[in-house]
Every structure is written in C-alpha cells, then in structure tokens.
Amino acid sequence: MSQQSNVRLFVLGALMLSLVLTLIGRLFYLQVMTGEEYKVAAVNNTVREVVEPAVRGLILDQVGRPLVSNRTSLVITVDKIELSREPDGGEAVIERLGRILDLPAEEIADRLKPCGSEGAKPPPVCWNGSPYQPVPIAQDVDPQTALTVMEQGQVYRSVDARLDAIREYPAPFNVNAAHLLGYLGPLTEEQLEEQGPTTASDRLRRTDAVGRSGLEAYYDEEVRGKPGITTLAVDTAGRVTGTLEQFDPEPGQYLISSLDARLQSVVEDQLVRAVQRAQRQGNPGDSGAAVVVDVKTGRILAMASYPTYDPSIWVGGVTQKQFEKLMDSGSLASNATQGIFAPGSTYKVVSTLAAGKQGFDLNGTYDCPSRVKLGTQVFRNYESAAYGDISLARALEVSCNTVFYGLADRMWEQAGGDDAGRDGADPVADAARQLGLGEATGIDLPVESEGRIASREFKIENWERKRDTWCKNAVEGYPETRKSAPELADYFTALDQENCADGFRWREGDALNASIGQGDTAVTPLQMAMVYAAIANGGTVYEPRMVKAIMSADGSQIQEIPPIVSNEITGSRARQSIRFLQRSLPRVTTEGSGRDPFSGFPLDQIPVASKTGSAQVTGDKVSTAWFASYAPADDPQYAVVMMVTQGGLGSKTSGPSVRKIYEALFGVDGQDVNSRRSVLVDGKPSSNLPVIRQDGTPVIPLGKDSGLPEARETVTARGDEGGG
C-alpha cells in the first residue's frame, strides 16, 4: 500500500488516541477535580423533605395547672399563587369567602398583603410569611363552613381547609398572665435569614410559628420541639422513589413555671381593685403593676400588669381593628417589667444602705424639719410635717424626707460638692447598683427595661447627649413661645443657659432628690420587688426566674433551673445596714405609714415589713402609689410590691391590695391564720415538680384546687379534643 495511506492511517490512529486522552482528561477534571459541587447539586435535585410539625410544649404553673396548652382548629387558608391565577386576581373568591366566613372582604384582602408591600397594614395584620405558603385567614371555623369551602373545590381553587394544632389558654382561676406567657406569631423574614447553617430538624421554616413575647419567646427553642422530617428521594416527575431518612417529630418540652395560677389570679384581681380604689379617690389611676417573688429563690410566684389584654386574641392572628385597639390601650407592654417609674420613698431603703455603708450612725438621731431650703429651692416633707429629732428607724416609719435630705447633703459634701469631678463618690447610686437597679434583672423574659439611677454619671452622660440642644435654645431664646408668653420663654431660656453651661454638674439639689427616689431615678416594679427580696433574705440579689424546670413531654427528663444569684451584698457595714432595715421596716407596718392598710391584720403572727411610696412625676397631677413589702418579717418568704400610676398615696391605694395578697398567701381570716386556707397548695411554694404522665397530660390538683371547669380537668397535650 502507498506511503501516503500509511501516513494517513498513522495520523488517524494518533487522532483517535488523542480523542481517548481528551475524554479521560475531561472525565478526571469533572469527577476528581470538581466532583464535590456536583454532588451537592445532585442532592438538591433528588431530595425532598416532608415536614410534620412538632406539638409545642405546654406551660404549667407550679403545681401542674396548664397555663398554655394546645387544641385543634379548623383553619381556612388562601393560596396566593392560585388566587393570582384567577381572571380577576381573586376578587370574586375573596368576596365569596367573606360572605361564607362572615368577614369583610377587605379584611381578608388586608390579611393577604405581604408586610411592607404597598398599602399593607402593619404586622401582625399583614402577612409576613412566605408568598408560597397558604395564608391562614380564619381559625376555629365550624366544620360545616369548612366543608362548604372544601366541597366547592372548583370555585375555591385557592382556598383550603386544614387542621392545625393551636395554642389554647385554659385560664385556671381565670388567670390572664398575658404578658408573662406571651404569644406566637409567624416567623419573620429576618429570623429566617439570621439562622445560620442548621440541621434539618433544628431549622426554622417559613410555615413555623414562633414565640414572639413572654415565655413563649424566651423559651421558644425548648418549647418548639423538633419537627418530624422524612427525607424522600424523588425523580424528575416528583414521584417518590424511596425514603432516605425518617425522624419522628419530637414534641416540645414543658415549662414548669414558678407562677401559681391561683395566686396570680388573686394578684391580678387585687391590682384591678387597687386601680379602682385610686379612681374612687378621684385619681386617674391609669396603670399599675404587682409582683410577688419568693425571696428565698428569686422565683416569681405572680406578676400582674394593668391594663392587660386577652392572650387568646393572638391565636389565629389579630384583625386590624383588634390590633389598633390593643395599641391604643397601652396594654401590650408589661408595666411590671417594661414600665419605669420614679420609686419615691420606697427608694429610702437604698439611701439607708448608702448612709450605713458611709459610716453614718444608724441608731443616731436626726433632725426632721418640715422643709429644707437650698438657694431658691425648697424641699418639703409630705404635708410639711415636722418630727423634730428622731431616730433613723422612725424616719423610715414616718417617711421623713428631710432626714434623708440631710444624709444626702452630707454625703454630697463629703464627695466634694459642686467641685467633685466625674469620679466623685456617689454612695446612693452605688447602693442602688448593688441592689440591682439601673440594669436588667435578667428575668427569663425577652424584654425588660433597665431603669435609671440618678447619679453623677447619669448627669454627665445626659448633658453630653443634650448639650447641643440646650445651648442652641439658650442662644435662640424660644422665639415661638416668646410671641405668646414672653415670661415663659425667658424662664426656659434661663434654664437652658444654665444647663448649657454646667448641666453636667451633680448639684446639691440632685443629690437631695435622688435620696428619696425622685429626680431622674426610675425603676421597674420587678426591680423594686427584687430589692425588697434582697433586704428580706439578708442581702442576696437574685436574678428573677419564672420557670423552675423544663421537662420532656413524657415527663421522663427533667432539667431544673436553679436560682441564680446576681449579687451578694457583703461588707460588715452593708450587712449591718440590711439588718437595720430588717428591724425597722416591720415597724413601718405597725407604727408608720404602712399601718392603716394593715389594721386588723394578725401582724403578731405574720409580721410584715413594708415601705410606702408616693412618687411625684413631672407632668402628672397625682403621685405614683407604691407599696413595697415582704413577710413574714421574722422569717421572710415572700416579697410583694404593687404600684399604681397617678394612684395617690401608696398606703391608701396599693396598701390594701397588698394586704389582701398576704391574706391569700398565708390563709388569713380575721385574726385567724391557717395555712390550709392559703391559695398555695400546702400553704407554700411547691418544692416538688408536677408529674407529667407518659401521654403528656400533667397531673393537676383536683377539685377546687384545679381552677378549671370540671369538664376541662383532663388537659390534653396534643390538642386532639376539639375541632373537627
């Protein structure tokens, strides 16, 4: 054969070899060099998750009564994708659905609008879930209506009915506890984005409802449980080709609260009565709070806030009207943990601690004139009463302001007076900080206010913040105000000139005001309760806790939450001061400003330590009525603090309600004390944990102690009793 042919055949063979090598090379690159990313793509391609939601854990009170449980509900949902496919954009469907569900069509339309879109109402009315997820528009629909919707599948292609487990509030003894328990809401886009890489069972999904406030939010992870996840292998057509993994849902854990439903009910009731009492005196009495804490552990036994709202309003989402009403009423935030108020004379325990630590003679005598003059300012006693030379204990009993002014004045001068710099001593503020004021208590709730301590430091910080405005106003001289009221403008201008020049200075007047809990000082009622609990137990400041244990849904695993000490007051002078307070405060109840509300109370059997407070608030005509206390004074168990804003005198408005709470706690009837009459089962905070049966139902006290209607005594965990 020709040479030409041989050469060509050789070239062809070489070409074939190069083709083979090309394939092998490319194969090596795809499989060995970059194989991993394709592996991931393959997994996404072929795996589908089926999620079976977990049942949320119950929240029980200290003896096992359910405060929050579950039940089933027929829910009507609208699929927005399907709805948008309707020729008229779904208007007719919404119209028709509104007629069947007896809801205005625009309310349904509002519910379907994604939050943040044009014309959308604020959350929770708008939809903040995924656009691919059916929007629930009505819960607890009766089965007949649900059937109507489902049977007309052709007409309502976008509408469906499904059975959901939803939250229920059994309300033993008609407790409300709305601010403590909190509520659920759909997962927000931010929460969804925030979560980093998680396992499938820990991952939050768009369809999840999560705790938005209260215990539901703080313990969301524990209560949420883990959804059952079945990982299916599917083909391109979506047909299931096999099951790769399967995890059964793990029900959420139960919260065993230290709250007692029956006590909570009494406290809520007594708070309302205190408010009514204020109003009967002609005072506005617009809001209030009450806290009962176990001084030995820092656990919250009851905590109420006025005004409040019905927690079940959140179940199924609120309507626009409901939400506006809720916002206007000011009942969404808890006054007990989020409201900050001037503590008034209840703060004198802080000043006493400060004075004792500074070395003032706690058993000495101090002058109690009717007033103290400071330049042009006059600082008075209540009703300008004068007691002459009295002991410090007596000063606490009668709540003599001028004695504390004197102490504060001397402490201020010792620190260097007007010339003390930023680092000048500030004993009252230090004592307040020691007792946990001016910072979050650390309670197991998602939000709380820190409050404020009037102090040198605060003054400087405040001046640095406001200086520019003050100085600007001082130069401009309030031209607008000047047109109508030139004198007022002069006054404002002079004030701002002074503030601009040396508003950072901790003045004598500031120190005096601070000593009696006025001025810039503000506390939450919870903080005050923890202060009195610390005095009661001899100086241990606890982090308040509302949950004492977390249990698995079958009761088999228990994680106890021990009391947490946030600060221990040490030092002999400080300990002496605490003991001095422990000796003095019971006499406030027997002989001082706390006597009236406790007249007829068996104080010989149950001595009560107390301090009243009637704090002046700028802008308010009527003072804030405080009553802070603990009992029994000889072996303290409970601290009870109540306050009503614009409520008048602490002893007149809050005092009687606090007395009623002690009567309920100790089982007082007239002069007779019997712990079997106590609202607490066994007459004291339960030291045992409630029992949870294997099926998830808690064992609760029977009969009148259950606080539930007889038919409801069997509480179901899974919510399989109601609905269709």
Partner 1 sequence: MANLFRMQASDAAVAPQRDRGGGYWRDLDWILLIAAVALSLMGSLLVWSASRADLASESDPQSYLKRHLINIGVALVLGFIASRINYRLLRAYTPVVYVASMVLLLVPFVPGLGVTIAGARAWIDVPLGLTIQPSEFAKITVILMMAALLSERRDREEEPSAQDVLLALAVAAIPTAIILVQNDTGTVLILAAVSLSIVAVSGVRTRWLVGLIGAAILGVLASIQLGLLQEYQVDRLTSFINPNEDVSASAYNANQAAIAIGGGGLDGYGLFEGPQTQGNFVPVNESDFIFTVAGEELGFLGSALLIAFMAVILWRAVLIAWKADDLYGRLVATGVAAWLAFQMFENIGMTLGIMPITGIPLPFVSAGGTSMMATWIALGLLQTVRLHSLAVQRSEV
CB-nearer residue toward partner 1: 30 or 565: 30
Residue with tokens 């809990």: 517
With contacts defined by CB under 8 A, name the span among 11-19, 123-131, 184-192, 284-292 that binds partner 1: 11-19
CB-nearer residue toward partner 1: 45 or 557: 45
Residue 50 binds partner 1, judged by CB under 8 A: no
In the range 238-267, which residues lie near partner 1 by CB under 8 A? Answer: 241-242
Shortest approach of partner 1 to residue 246 CB, angstroms? Answer: 17
| DSSP assignment letter at 154 | T
Residue 132 binds partner 1, judged by CB under 8 A: no
The C-alpha torsion from 693 through 694 and 697 to 701, rounded to 10°, is 0
Identified binder of partner 1 from the candidate list 144, 236, 376, 618, rule CB under 8 A: 236
CB-nearer residue toward partner 1: 6 or 714: 6
63/86 Cα distance (integer angstroms): 54
CB-nearer residue toward partner 1: 50 or 501: 50
80/159 Cα distance (integer angstroms): 9
With contacts defined by CB under 8 A, name the span among 15-23, 314-322, 325-333, 434-442 that binds partner 1: 15-23
With contacts defined by CB under 8 A, name the span among 45-53, 473-481, 583-591, 631-639 that binds partner 1: 45-53
Identified binder of partner 1 from the candidate list 190, 196, 237, 465, rule CB under 8 A: 237
- Integer CA distances (angstroms), 169 to 66, 260, 706, in order: 8, 15, 14
CB-nearer residue toward partner 1: 21 or 565: 21
CB-nearer residue toward partner 1: 187 or 232: 232
What token pair was written down for 624? Answer: 């804030």
Spatial CA neighbour of 435 closest among 537, 516, 510: 537
Shortest approach of partner 1 to residue 234 CB, angstroms? Answer: 7
What token pair was written down for 368? Answer: 């109690």
Q: Tell me the one-letter amino acid at 87.
A: P
Identified binder of partner 1 from the candidate list 39, 465, 621, 676, rule CB under 8 A: 39
Spatial CA neighbour of 525 closest among 378, 347, 699, 356: 347
Residue 143 binds partner 1, judged by CB under 8 A: no
Identified binder of partner 1 from the candidate list 100, 115, 233, 603, rule CB under 8 A: 233
693/556 Cα distance (integer angstroms): 9
Report yes or no: 224 and 217 within 8 Å, Cβ to Cβ.
no
| DSSP assignment letter at 114 | B
Shortest approach of partner 1 to residue 697 CB, angstroms? Answer: 44
CB-nearer residue toward partner 1: 20 or 92: 20
Identified binder of partner 1 from the candidate list 12, 327, 494, 501, rule CB under 8 A: 12
With contacts defined by CB under 8 A, name the span among 21-29, 219-227, 358-366, 688-696 that binds partner 1: 21-29
Residue with tokens 């109003």: 279
H helices then E strands: how many in the chain?
A: 24, 25
Shortest approach of partner 1 to residue 17 CB, angstroms? Answer: 8
Identified binder of partner 1 from the candidate list 2, 144, 570, 572, rule CB under 8 A: 2
Residue 676 binds partner 1, judged by CB under 8 A: no
The contact mask relative to partner 1 for 405-434 (x = CB under 8 A, - = no) is ------------------------------
436/430 Cα distance (integer angstroms): 10
The contact mask relative to partner 1 for 147-176 (x = CB under 8 A, - = no) is ------------------------------
Shortest approach of partner 1 to residue 31 CB, angstroms? Answer: 4
Shortest approach of partner 1 to residue 206 CB, angstroms? Answer: 24
With contacts defined by CB under 8 A, name the span among 36-44, 167-175, 363-371, 419-427 that binds partner 1: 36-44
φ and ψ of 505, to 5 deg = -75, 135
What token pair was written down for 218? Answer: 């703080």
Computed over its alpha carbons, how large is the radius of gyration of the chain?
Answer: 33
Evaluated on CA atoms 57, 63, 67, 71, the torsion sign reads: positive
Identified binder of partner 1 from the candidate list 87, 234, 474, 632, rule CB under 8 A: 234
With contacts defined by CB under 8 A, name the span among 26-34, 134-142, 406-414, 425-433 that binds partner 1: 26-34
CB-nearer residue toward partner 1: 39 or 704: 39
514/401 Cα distance (integer angstroms): 11
Residue 423: count other Cβ atoms within 10 Å of its Cβ.
10
SS3 per-residue string spanning 295-307:
CCCCEEEEEEEEC
282/653 Cα distance (integer angstroms): 11
What token pair was written down for 13? Answer: 């063979």
Residues in binding contact with partner 1, number by CB under 8 A: 43
With contacts defined by CB under 8 A, name the span among 31-39, 375-383, 575-583, 712-720 that binds partner 1: 31-39
Identified binder of partner 1 from the candidate list 96, 235, 358, 708, rule CB under 8 A: 235
Which neighbouring-strand residues pair with 341?
523
Shortest approach of partner 1 to residue 5 CB, angstroms? Answer: 4
φ and ψ of 250, to 5 deg = -110, 115
In the range 617-656, which residues lie near partner 1 by CB under 8 A? Answer: none
- Integer CA distances (angstroms), 191 to 184, 211, 213, 315, in order: 14, 12, 14, 20
Shortest approach of partner 1 to residue 245 CB, angstroms? Answer: 13
With contacts defined by CB under 8 A, name the span among 18-26, 304-312, 363-371, 592-600 that binds partner 1: 18-26
CB-nearer residue toward partner 1: 44 or 376: 44
Residue 89 binds partner 1, judged by CB under 8 A: no
CB-nearer residue toward partner 1: 231 or 279: 231
79/523 Cα distance (integer angstroms): 48
Report yes or no: 690 and 66 within 8 Å, Cβ to Cβ.
no
Residue 199 binds partner 1, judged by CB under 8 A: no
With contacts defined by CB under 8 A, name the span among 42-50, 73-81, 260-268, 312-320 that binds partner 1: 42-50
In the range 439-498, which residues lie near partner 1 by CB under 8 A? Answer: none
Shortest approach of partner 1 to residue 169 CB, angstroms? Answer: 47
587/572 Cα distance (integer angstroms): 23
Residue 195 binds partner 1, judged by CB under 8 A: no
CA 214 from chain centre, in angstroms, equals 5
CB-nearer residue toward partner 1: 8 or 280: 8
Residue with tokens 């204020």: 278
679/62 Cα distance (integer angstroms): 12
The strand pair at 624-631 and 609-615 is best described as antiparallel
Shortest approach of partner 1 to residue 258 CB, angstroms? Answer: 52
Residue 673: count other Cβ atoms within 10 Å of its Cβ.
19
SS3 assignment, position 380 = strand
CB-nearer residue toward partner 1: 46 or 139: 46
CB-nearer residue toward partner 1: 26 or 373: 26
Helix, strand, coil share of the chain (percent; to 5): 40, 20, 40
| Half-sphere exposure at residue 315, Cβ-oriented, CA atoms within 13 angstroms | 22
Rounded to 5°, the CA angle 219-223-227 comes to 135
Binding residues for partner 1 (CB under 8 A) = 1-2, 4-6, 8-9, 11-13, 15-17, 19-20, 22-24, 26-28, 30-32, 34-39, 41-43, 45-47, 233-237, 241-242
